[in-house]
Structure 1
Amino acid sequence: MGQGAPSTREVTVVLDGYSFLECPRWHDGRLWVSDFYTNQVVSTDGRGHVEVVAEVPRQPGGIGFLPDGRALIVSMRDHRILVRDESGSLAEHADLSGAVPGLLNDMVVDDRGRAFVGNFGFDLMGGAPLRHTTITRVDVDGTVATVADDLCFPNGMVILGGNVLVVAETFAGRLTAFDIAEDGGLGNRRVWAQFGEPPQTEDVGEAVELLQVGPDGICADAEGAIWVADALHARVIRVQEGGEILDEIPTGLAVFACMLGGDDGCTLFLCTAPSFPEHERRPVREAQLMAVRVDVPHAELP
């Protein structure tokens, strides 16, 4: 399906009554997702059953899983990554407070258990000017290292082929790729997909008006394409390397993250809400988890 031809597939509501859902991950038959302003991570089978799997008082964000199955959960406001054991107990896995200039954000964990984490880089909700920032790697032993810089709001991330990290730079309107070296370093930076010209402004409001796509959460499928939550235009798009939009599904509400899952990997889960500003989302429960069937199943990480 070419650009400009939105899909007519049916989008259904799986869960509702949440504050702001983000960072969905399909794991072991269930979808895990963070609800920012209730400070909870919940999991669902996609058929209505819901369980609170973690309480993160300083706001849960990115989610990933170590090779032994334990969950890693970003604690956004105190710049920590927590590890959840099989009993559900949380402990500190790493403290990134000395390495990052803003709230922690999304995260992807590779097959060796190394976590790659983005951060806001500036006070988005407080109206500060746009600032570029970093990606941090956290090793299995909790060691922290900055592995990339000069990124314009690094957001959702996927790992393709085991050694290519692709990150959504939301306010630059692009997906950027790096090769992951044997030692976990990032190199060979390149544009994976560019959606129009990057806005040349430090004003968030102006940038939002100029962006053709606001790439937020992302996930990959078995054909090497990436589904991108376009946070600014109430849709999710399927993109191939080079930037061609292969498919588009309108959602009715703004969509901030997406994840392929379900028994056959062909259910695309969507984290939706009417808007993103914290002062609008925190006091209400208008966020929904939606789902739509697609043709190509989940692959790669997360």
Structure 2
Amino acid sequence: MITLPLPEIVVDGLSLPECPRWHDGALYFSDITAGRVHRLNADDSTELLYESSTDFIGGLGFLNNGDLLAAASKQRQVLRIVDGKAEVFADLSGLCPYVLNDMIVIDNNAYVGQPGYDPWGAHMDKMPDPADVLFANTEGSVSVAASDLMSPNGIAVSPDGSTLYVAESTGNRISCFTRDSATGALSNRRVFATLPDGGIPDGICLDDEGAVWAAMPIAVTPNAYLSGLGVVRLVEGGQVTHVVPVGEGRRALACAFGGPDRKSLYICTVPEFHGSAAASEGHGRLERISLDFIGAGRP
């Protein structure tokens, strides 16, 4: 296992940064509890693209025409955002009992995760229920894409669109599915990697060698490289080959490759929190490290 250098700080002063997405020469990311969507431009300047005064904003993705989609967590809707204004793209409230989480969009199909409990409310201390990955598309179809997952969280898709990966946070594993490019249907569920020592994965992304990079936000063991302090690179079967630390007292929530050559790994981090993400308010960061690996697929 190789431990890489600490990343540089690109943006500071965020609340709960998550769901980074490289698109059309810029990095988009949400600030969940602030209800905001930001864009990081090539010169590292940031723009506020959308702000909700009533909801938390999680997963992001893009339709084929470039329109931005965002998961409104508490309302359990996927929003289409154009020129700073939002309209409902899909209402998932009938399929999601708690809140929405991360999302990936490919071929006008949105796949949306849910934690199986409400991390913001009265259900925070209960064990998560088995939960579904939900599906929505531009034709108005809303359905369950995959069921019986343990806190389906980060989602990624292979470069050819044929494999969809899901981080099952409380299942301590990365699962994958065969994806039908014509219908968007998922099948042939299997385990890509079980996390060593019960590690808990959050946001994920892929490289061109077929490995999964997983943010590990929650400490579960004294093991240094899986103590919730960085991003790990996993090959199929679960071996950890590389670790990106994010500094003492911080946790990595999500990651995505970006930059002109897709060799920059962007990482969303917050201070170590105990029982409430509110402790990170104003101290969230977007960080970046240049790597020899090349990002692949989505995000």
Q: Tell me the TM-score normalized by structure 1.
A: 0.89
User: What RMSD in Å do the two structures reach over aligned CA positions?
Assistant: 1.7
Alignment partner for residue 232 of structure 2, among 220, 229, 237? Answer: 237
> C-alpha displacement at 1:183, in angstroms?
2.0
CA distance in 2, matches of 1:241, 1:283: 33
Q: Tell me, yes or no, if the aligned pair for 1:118 and 1:135 is still in contact at 8 Å.
A: yes
Gap runs ≥5 in structure 1:
197-210
CA distance in 2, matches of 1:271, 1:142: 32
Number of aligned positions between the proteins: 282
Partner in structure 2 of residue 130 of structure 1: 128
Could you tell me the percent identity over the aligned residues?
A: 34
What SS class does the counterpart of residue 171 from structure 1 fall into? helix
Partner deviation per Cα, 1:31-67 (whole Å, 9 max, x = no partner): 1111112111111126431100111331110000001
Partner in structure 1 of residue 190 of structure 2: 190
> C-alpha displacement at 1:18, in angstroms?
0.8
Question: Is 1:103 paired with 2:89?
Answer: no
CA distance in 2, matches of 1:165, 1:155: 12
Question: Is 1:221 paired with 2:207?
Answer: yes
Partner in structure 1 of residue 224 of structure 2: none
Deviates more, 1:126-135 or 1:280-289: 280-289
Relative distance call for 1:53 and 1:282 in structure 2 (3 A) is farther
CA distance in 1, matches of 2:125, 2:274: 10
CA distance in 2, matches of 1:91, 1:109: 17
What SS class does the counterpart of residue 133 from structure 1 fall into? strand
> C-alpha displacement at 1:131, in angstroms?
1.4
| Amino acid in the other structure paired with 1:226 | V
What SS class does the counterpart of residue 289 from structure 2 fall into? strand
Relative distance call for 1:64 and 1:27 in structure 2 (3 A) is same
Partner in structure 2 of residue 290 of structure 1: 287
Q: Tell me, yes or no, if the aligned pair for 2:207 and 2:295 is still in contact at 8 Å.
A: yes
> C-alpha displacement at 1:280, in angstroms?
4.5
> C-alpha displacement at 1:137, in angstroms?
0.6
Partner in structure 2 of residue 29 of structure 1: 25
> C-alpha displacement at 1:106, in angstroms?
0.3
Partner deviation per Cα, 1:164-213 (whole Å, 9 max, x = no partner): 110000111100011112322211010011114xxxxxxxxxxxxxx532
Question: Is 1:54 paired with 2:50?
Answer: yes
CA distance in 2, matches of 1:11, 1:152: 30
Q: Please list, as runs of the form range in 1=range in 2, the aligned pairs for 1:58-97 lying within 5 A after superposition.
A: 58-85=55-82, 87-97=83-93
CA distance in 2, matches of 1:235, 1:140: 36
> C-alpha displacement at 1:289, in angstroms?
0.7
Partner in structure 2 of residue 180 of structure 1: 179
Relative distance call for 1:268 and 1:46 in structure 2 (3 A) is farther
| Amino acid in the other structure paired with 1:37 | T
Gap runs ≥5 in structure 2:
219-227
Relative distance call for 1:179 and 1:34 in structure 2 (3 A) is same
Q: Tell me, yes or no, if the aligned pair for 1:275 and 1:281 is still in contact at 8 Å.
A: no
